[in-house]
Amino acid sequence: MSVQLQIRRLLRLSVPAGCLLVICLRAAAQDGQSTVSFDRDIRPILSDLCFTCHGPDSQQRKSDLRLDQREGLFGVRDGQSVVVAGAPEKSVLIQRITSFNPDLQMPPPDFERRLSPEQVQLLQRWIQQGAHWTAHWSFIKPQAVQPPVAGGRFSGWCRNPIDQFVLSSLEKAGLTPSAEADRRTLIRRVSLDLTGLPPTPAEVQSFVTDTSPEAWDTVIDRLLSTPAYGEHQAVAWLDAARYADTSGYQNDGPRSMWRWRDWVIDAFNRNIPFDRFTIEQIAGDLLPSPTPDQRIATGFNRNHRGNAEGGIIPEEFQVEYVADRVDTTFAVWQGLTMGCARCHDHKYDPLRQLDYYQVFAWFNNLPESGRAIKEGNSPPLIQAPLPEQQQQLQRLGAALQVSEQRTKDLQPALARAVQAWQSSDSAMAEPDWSVTDGLTSHFPLAGNLHDVVSQQQAQQQVMPDGSTVFSLHNVAGFGYFDRFTFSSWVQPSADTGTLISRMIPVEHGEGYYVHLEAGRVQINLVKRWLDDAIRVESQSQLPLNTLSHVAVVYDGTRLASGIRLYVNGVEWPLEVRLDRLNQTFAVKAEPLRLGGGQSTFRGTLSDVRVYSRDLTRQEVQRLSVLETVQQILQIPPGQRTPAQQDKLEWMFLERHADADLSSAFNDVIRLRRELRALHDQIPTVMVMQELPVPRQTHVLLRGQYDRPGAPVQPDIPQALAGKFVPKHGNRLDLAEWLVSPENPLTARVAVNRIWQRFFEHGLVRTTEDFGSQGERPSHPELLDWLSVEFVRSGWDLKALQRLIVQSATYRQSSRQNSQLQNSDPENRLLSRGTRRRLSAETIRDQALFLSGLLSHRVGGPSVKPYQPAGLWQEIATDTAYEQSQGEDLYRRSLYTYWKRTVAPPTLVTFDATTRESCVVNRSRTNTPLQALVLMNDVTFVEAARVMAQNELKQPADSIEERVGRLFRLVTAREPAGHELEVLCNRYRRNLELYRERPESALQLSRSGEYPVDDSLNPSELAALTTVTSVLLNLDEVITKE
């Protein structure tokens, strides 16, 4: 007994009629004598069962036979035709697929899949009917089609051309459209569809009572113009763009791409045309004089995961990032599985491996490393100031300019003031001066380590050679985000030894040290040799037995370029030996050591200073003035070096200058710091950027990073290029091709994705695959008409959606009955409205909205709403989830912080994606875990509590009035008498119960962090909370009706 038979028999036992009918319908379609369409019926069979060996993949092709092309299918093999139109029995194709001879049989006996008898029949009938061949539908450009004119009984039903197409196919199937849904259902449906939020009772009421012909359009226009529209639109785009707040591999550290996310929301709300939307995201950086927004838009292709795991081979992952860009771009804009051509020619679609790497080359030209930054954004990145930050930048910049000019103007006055002061008596007693701002430790030493160190309670250690090293705990415990400076006078007597350190030469030690190695000054910041550390070294050698001032400055950027070395106030060039720091080098175990750590320093160290900021060049120069203030004063002013004079002036400014003078100079310092602090706060975003010299791309044999084949140049896939002529020689060509009239797919794929937002499925159900393995559209003419119309409208997304929701098709009731289930079981013919569970985000947002908790703030850094304790730490070792407070607990779900390896549990339970890779079509499941979330997650319990709280603050004559109001709020409809009765009875019973259990009442009435209203009776609040919780759990409430 075949398995299919088994299954049919099995199903007969217990499956409802509707399901059984699917099978029967399928069988009927296959058994009937209707016309067989090559594109609809035959290519899918050939693709699925034959193309693997007789398709586009030249490597796998057997017997040099191609069935994916007309020439092959109708060609002659060994004197016999593969297909003889009208004569199945003469066609080798049929002979082979019906053969029982294992040597001739196709597919061969060891192939994984077999042809079903129905499929064989179809092939026979196709040949019988004349073997008409057509190209694959989606590779032919959509043509402007006239909507069919409906003349039948339902011709008055049509509201726009969409309906004409739908009605025409319904009529062909002998069906009729469903009645229109009632107004309450309609306004809830369209509100949820367009904004992801339900209507308010007032909005429902106003639509129900608005009898004008424009009532529906009024609602639509209102919804399309709310910011909530853009937020809701963005969710699906974030899925497609695999947007997240972490990098996604191993420790899964944080990144910051929310400026890109906000660009997307804004783009939808501004309704920028989809072709602009496309070009800016693919190649905004390459537009002439790109705006900051156009550069931010290119973050789309930096949203892929990034691997910061220690020990990875960067080249391997750099290839993965580029591949991700190729795969995602083609899935999102072309509905094609380009990734299948990475290792070999595509098995089903006309995409060669060469095409893959030609596209790869467009995206392979970034100054990027395969090893991602562990905490933060990986280059290339830009600062993306918010508008208010942009204003602050301008304001501070202008103020600084003024202040700097003022200090310049005041320079003669300062010189005169110093001149006047130095001849005063007090000058003779002036103590020495040095830079003290940010000084955290100072060891004068004076060449003798003993004095200070004993004061600091340091441990003194006599080394075998008689020299001394001092160590101090809790000093200079810097990490890789910290800015710091070390400064000291150094007179080495040997050319190797450690000046200052918090690290010892044990196996896999970590920390930092400044060291003399054969006279060169070496700076080491180390998490792990040799793949997680920075080492820079001076080209020149520090002179032996000579006193030099050495200063090392680090700016907290985690890069070798963030280290500066100054010797005697002059910056020394550094050679970069290692530049791979990816984790902090902060250590607790090792103390700060002066004169030791790696190896013992010989010579003298004096005036060792540790600053918790990165001093400027001028400040270091002041430190490098050996002479004390008194010594400088002894030098006649004309003979002082500029540095000496500068030191004197800064001493004077700090200690003696009048208010005018000192405030002028202090203003500069203050403004520079404010500017710095502002820059530190400005979010960055990873963007696309071109290397000045293009990186050579090669075909990668079997797709492997370490097996380069022939070099390739960037290009458009041959089979899809049409007459498109690239004119820029960079990624902009790819972007322009995507939205050019030559591209057969982009508009269709975009329209289809929009369509699936409103109906159960896209017109093409395989949203992710428009190739020969994908499903054909249910309404091909409608898809083409919409695509052409979309482009004609100027790629207007709002107009497209308006068109859809204005249609009578959209406004049908979603009620099912046995007749509908029999005739159109999966609603492929659109014989009724769509009843579908809401998305994860909408379910949560709706609960927050109904309780009045929802924050309507748009954009900003991601937030961390409620999540069970310890969820991150138990699998993502070192990171704690710091829950947000106040308003941020109640932001729309698209702002929820998305950690890819531990995605937000409430949302994932309702089929939100992990954002690890591009997803254009979420699954919608129905599980017990979803029930647990809605019943028990504090998010929903608190929402229920606050809803009840709000209700109790309103006047009411009876509990029926309260429950009725809540029911209308949540469902947008009137409760039936029985429904009201069930809920009110429950209220009364639970009220009694909670009166007996005041402790329980108190607990439930305090769920969540939202303030409790102590004026309310806890038992009443608890009892009503149980009712609102039931309401939030109703299937109807988490479903678009």
Query: Contact with other proteins (CB under 8 A): which of 982, 995, 1012, 1016?
Result: 982
Restricting to residues 116-135, name those near other proteins by CB under 8 A: 116
Site membership for other proteins, residue 373 (CB under 8 A): no
Provide the minimum distance between the beta carbon of 812 and other proteins in the complex, in angstroms, as a whole number: 13
Provide the minimum distance between the beta carbon of 780 and other proteins in the complex, in angstroms, as a whole number: 18
Query: Contact with other proteins (CB under 8 A): which of 99, 411, 868, 992?
Result: 868
Restricting to residues 491-530, name those near other proteins by CB under 8 A: 507-508, 528, 530
Provide the minimum distance between the beta carbon of 875 and other proteins in the complex, in angstroms, as a whole number: 4
Say how many residues touch other proteins, by CB under 8 A.
126
Stretch that binds other proteins, among 358-366, 541-549, 786-794, 935-943 (CB under 8 A): 935-943
Provide the minimum distance between the beta carbon of 315 and other proteins in the complex, in angstroms, as a whole number: 10
Stretch that binds other proteins, among 31-39, 150-158, 546-554, 980-988 (CB under 8 A): 980-988
The answer to whether the CB of 467 falls within 8 A of the CB of 540 is no
- What is the distance, to the nearest Å, from the Cα of residue 149 to the centroid of all Cα atoms in its chain? 45
- 540: DSSP letter: E
Provide the minimum distance between the beta carbon of 891 and other proteins in the complex, in angstroms, as a whole number: 21
Q: Give ∠ CA 506-511-514 in degrees, rounded to 5.
A: 95
SS3 459: strand
Strands of 520-528's sheet, edge to edge? 459-462, 468-472, 592-594, 497-501, 511-517, 520-528, 532-541, 574-579
- What is the distance, to the nearest Å, from the Cα of residue 949 to the centroid of all Cα atoms in its chain? 37
Provide the minimum distance between the beta carbon of 19 and other proteins in the complex, in angstroms, as a whole number: 6
- Say which amino acid occupies 682: I
Site membership for other proteins, residue 674 (CB under 8 A): no
Close Cβ partners of 441 (under 8 Å, ≥ 6 residues apart): 472, 475, 476, 592, 608, 609, 610
Q: Give ∠ CA 139-141-144 in degrees, rounded to 5.
A: 145
Site membership for other proteins, residue 768 (CB under 8 A): yes
Structure tokens at 316: 């391997």
Site membership for other proteins, residue 937 (CB under 8 A): yes
Restricting to residues 893-912, name those near other proteins by CB under 8 A: 900-903, 905, 908-909, 911
Query: Contact with other proteins (CB under 8 A): which of 232, 483, 564, 835?
Result: 835
| 3-state secondary structure string across 892-903 | CHHHECCCHHHC
Distance (Å, whole) CA 302 – CA 835: 36
Stretch that binds other proteins, among 82-90, 112-120, 392-400, 403-411 (CB under 8 A): 112-120
Provide the minimum distance between the beta carbon of 975 and other proteins in the complex, in angstroms, as a whole number: 9
Site membership for other proteins, residue 838 (CB under 8 A): no
Query: Contact with other proteins (CB under 8 A): which of 106, 296, 671, 933?
Result: 933
Cis omega (within 30 of 0) for bond into 530: yes
Contact characters 726-765, other proteins, x per CB under 8 A: ----------------------------------------
Provide the minimum distance between the beta carbon of 565 and other proteins in the complex, in angstroms, as a whole number: 24
Q: Which is nearer to other proteins, 6 or 383 (CB)?
A: 6
Helices and strands, number each (H, E), in the chain: 38, 22
Restricting to residues 526-585, name those near other proteins by CB under 8 A: 528, 530-531
Site membership for other proteins, residue 859 (CB under 8 A): no
* Long-range residue pairs from 517-525, CB within 8 A, at least 24 positions apart, any chain: 519/492, 519/495, 519/543, 519/544, 521/550, 521/552, 521/565, 521/567, 521/572, 523/552, 523/554, 523/563, 523/565, 523/574, 525/480, 525/554, 525/563, 525/581, 525/585
Provide the minimum distance between the beta carbon of 92 and other proteins in the complex, in angstroms, as a whole number: 22
Q: Which is nearer to other proteins, 147 or 335 (CB)?
A: 335
Stretch that binds other proteins, among 13-21, 221-229, 562-570, 781-789 (CB under 8 A): 13-21
Other beta carbons less than 10 A from residue 372's beta carbon:
28
- Please compute Rg for the chain using Cα positions: 37
Distance (Å, whole) CA 512 – CA 489: 19
End-to-end CA distance of the chain: 42
Site membership for other proteins, residue 108 (CB under 8 A): no
Provide the minimum distance between the beta carbon of 122 and other proteins in the complex, in angstroms, as a whole number: 13
Provide the minimum distance between the beta carbon of 595 and other proteins in the complex, in angstroms, as a whole number: 25
Restricting to residues 799-828, name those near other proteins by CB under 8 A: 814-818, 820-821, 826
Restricting to residues 312-331, name those near other proteins by CB under 8 A: 312-314, 320, 331
Read off φ and ψ for residue 603, nearest 5 degrees. Answer: 135, -155
Provide the minimum distance between the beta carbon of 447 and other proteins in the complex, in angstroms, as a whole number: 36
SS3 602: coil
Provide the minimum distance between the beta carbon of 907 and other proteins in the complex, in angstroms, as a whole number: 11
Stretch that binds other proteins, among 106-114, 484-492, 593-601, 615-623 (CB under 8 A): 106-114
Contact characters 1022-1041, other proteins, x per CB under 8 A: x---x--xx--xxxx----x
Provide the minimum distance between the beta carbon of 669 and other proteins in the complex, in angstroms, as a whole number: 42
Length of the chain (residues):
1041
Q: Which is nearer to other proteins, 709 or 868 (CB)?
A: 868
Contact characters 909-928, other proteins, x per CB under 8 A: x-x--x-xx-----x-xxxx
Restricting to residues 347-366, name those near other proteins by CB under 8 A: 348-349
Restricting to residues 226-265, name those near other proteins by CB under 8 A: 248-252
| Residue 229 host element (H or E) | helix 227-240
Q: Which is nearer to other proteins, 373 or 664 (CB)?
A: 373
Token pair 């806890």: residue: 1018
Site membership for other proteins, residue 452 (CB under 8 A): no
* Long-range residue pairs from 319-325, CB within 8 A, at least 24 positions apart, any chain: 319/370, 319/700, 319/705, 320/370, 320/705, 321/368, 321/370, 322/360, 322/363, 322/364, 323/360, 323/703, 324/242, 324/917, 324/918, 325/301, 325/363
| Residue 567 host element (H or E) | strand 563-567
- Residue 380 φ/ψ region, left for φ over 0, alpha for ψ in the -120 to 50 degree band, beta for the rest: beta
Site membership for other proteins, residue 974 (CB under 8 A): no
Stretch that binds other proteins, among 334-342, 384-392, 422-430, 558-566 (CB under 8 A): 334-342
Site membership for other proteins, residue 399 (CB under 8 A): no
Site membership for other proteins, residue 17 (CB under 8 A): no
Q: Which is nearer to other proteins, 577 or 698 (CB)?
A: 577
- What is the distance, to the nearest Å, from the Cα of residue 693 to the centroid of all Cα atoms in its chain? 29
Restricting to residues 699-728, name those near other proteins by CB under 8 A: 706
Restricting to residues 985-1004, name those near other proteins by CB under 8 A: 986, 989-990, 993, 997, 1000-1004
Query: Contact with other proteins (CB under 8 A): which of 399, 400, 701, 938?
Result: 938
Site membership for other proteins, residue 90 (CB under 8 A): no
Site membership for other proteins, residue 983 (CB under 8 A): yes
The answer to whether the CB of 623 falls within 8 A of the CB of 615 is yes
Q: Which is nearer to other proteins, 575 or 706 (CB)?
A: 706
Provide the minimum distance between the beta carbon of 601 and other proteins in the complex, in angstroms, as a whole number: 24
Torsion 736-742-747-750 (CA) sign: negative
Q: Which is nearer to other proteins, 86 or 998 (CB)?
A: 998
Token pair 């500069």: residue: 668
Token pair 């289930």: residue: 821
Token pair 């160590």: residue: 471
Which residues is 564 bridged to in the sheet?
A: 553
